[in-house]
Amino acid sequence: MASLPDRCRPRSGRRACWSGSTLGAVRLPWIPWSEVERRARTVPGGPVTRSGGADELTVRGLVTDSRRVVPGSLFACVRGATSDGHRHVPAAAAAGAAALLVDRPVDSRLPQLCVPTVRAQLGPLGALLAGDPARALRLVGVTGSNGKTTTSALVRGVLEAGGDCTGVVGTLGAQVAGTSWGTALTTPEAPELHELLAAMVESGAQRAVVEASSIALDVGRMDGLAFQVSVFTGFEEDHLDHHGTLEQYWASKARLFEAGRTGAGVVVTDDLWGRRLADQAVVPVTRVGSGADADVRVLGWRTGAAGTEVLLADDTGGHRVSSPLVGRVHVTNLAAAWATGRVLGVPPDRIAAGLAAVAPPLGRNTVLGGRGRPVVVVDYAHTPGALAAAVDTARDLTGSGGRVHLVLGARGRRDRHKRQGLGESARAADRVWLTNEGSHGEDPAAIRAELRVGLLGSTAPVRTVPDRRQAITAAVGAAGPADVVLVVGRGHETRLLDTTDPRDAVHLDDAEVAATALATLHADDEDLHGRAC
């Protein structure tokens, strides 16, 4: 990452734990109960009824988990798929909640604000109770089935190179000015998201980049935010366990480009979905891709272990962009970040400097080994399209006559629809090692069987090694010095869960396992060399 702009206020490079009600790094304001009611009435959908609580009552922080209530909190009783926050009112009251946000009256002495849908209020009220931090920030939103995390990091690099202290919120957590916070979701629940933005404002940020997942857009976590620019990185089938149909999934993504939510769009148009979005969006759109109608056009590229170079053309002429990111999948990510910088007025030389300074995000084509040992690539690829691109990248990195060894699994209780597609994409590898990716209570053998359906007809040998650590180690051990071992699906994740109880999760970092396996190879080579001498 480029050096921090002078306006950023670093916090000693620390990493903070997310508390869910207060960051510790930001002081939340006390908000009058009457102001809460007033903001709630601005949300369309039906009547708002207040019971109890004088106008001078104040609340501090909006909380959706009763275990994270602190004295003074407004507790929002959210109905979920498996739980109902209304049932946890006694626990919230015991922890010191000052008032309740409900969609039906509950038996409690606490003041209550009854609304048609609690979830619809989380964005507007989360913003209010965090001090409306988004009003002090110029925001960029990034959505797409793949590439959100990398593109968000690249856009942040561009904006900081342009002189603006910039925060980022996404799959890898939240970062600003040397401080980072872990987050459980790609896009946190609205109250937590607004508190993170408040921390960024306190750190001196002028801008923030926010990854927008389709689920977050669907359930309203992005409500209360207005973006200068929204970026679309591409689209393919995913998350149908939540959305139900591909069209509903598409519609959720497209919400980020509605008038009133964003001022402009940057859209990768190399597929049908991107062209559809660019055509139907009512906000100004900058098209990015290799087509003749692209506003930022990819003229050529090359990639290797040292990074990626892209030749772009826009209304100012041709530009050569260099990046340490590895893989052809990053070509359009780099082009989209370039286009975003241009839309926001960053000079071309500053954009190029920012892109060149962004280190590869954790678990996104992380490259290990080489120099006489196999190359290992650890990547988050967990959709058929992303896997196909990852195999292509691995193929680019092989030496003469080298083979691609693929370590493949699929997460349990999520998107069964895409498992066969993952198997189909895996056919492009030279050898496949089927393994576990965290079954979450589902039968691991049944998951692997569904992957095998997609592999039918492949000429690649397929070996089943259920233990993921052993599978990675075996693949590295079987690979030659010209080969590439591609480990996909988990990327940056370090916790693997095979039951439905999160407390059963075990530590497993794919990159750590691969590094250990490579070190063992190196030690064996040294031992053999010593004996030969």
The answer to whether 66 is a known ligand-binding residue is: yes
Distance CA 363, CA 217 (A): 25
Taking the C-alpha atoms of 378, 383, 389 and 391 in order, what is their torsion angle to the nearest 10 degrees? 50
Cα-based torsion angle of the residue sequence 235, 238, 240, 245 in order, rounded to the nearest 10 degrees: 20
Q: How far apart are CA 216 and CA 152, in angstroms?
A: 16
Is 180 assigned a ligand-binding role in the annotation?
no
DSSP 8-state class, residue 148: H
Are 127 and 194 spatial neighbours (Cβ–Cβ below 8 Å)? yes
Number of Cα atoms under 13 Å in the Cβ half of residue 176: 29
* Residue 360 per-residue DSSP state: P
Tally of CB atoms within 10 A around 7: 13
Type of residue found at 71: P
Phi first, then psi: what are they for 446, rounded to 5°?
A: -70, -35
Assigned token pair, 111: 């003041």
Q: Strands, DSSP E only, in 171-260?
A: 173-176, 179-181, 207-211, 229-232
Which residues make Cβ contacts (< 8 Å) with residue 421, sequence separation at least 6?
237, 383, 384, 454
The answer to the question of whether 221 is labelled as a binding residue is: yes
- The position carrying tokens 């699929």 is 410
Q: Which of these, 382, 430, 371, lies nearest to 406 by C-alpha position?
A: 430
Partners of 495 in the β-ladder: 507
Classify 478 as helix, strand or coil: helix
Within 13 Å, how many C-alpha atoms sit on residue 432's CB side?
Answer: 26
* CA distance linking residue 92 with residue 263, whole number of Å: 39
Ligand-binding annotation for 411, yes or no, is no
CB 174 within 8 A of CB 411: no
Report helix, strand or coil for 107. Answer: coil
- Alpha-carbon span 200 to 188, nearest angstrom: 15
What is the sign of the dihedral through the CA atoms of 525, 527, 528 and 533? positive
Residue 194's contacts (CB-CB under 8 Å, 6 or more residues apart) are 123, 126, 127, 129, 130, 133, 134, 224
Residues listed for the chain: 533
Instruction: Provide the annotated binding site.
Output: 66, 186-187, 213, 221
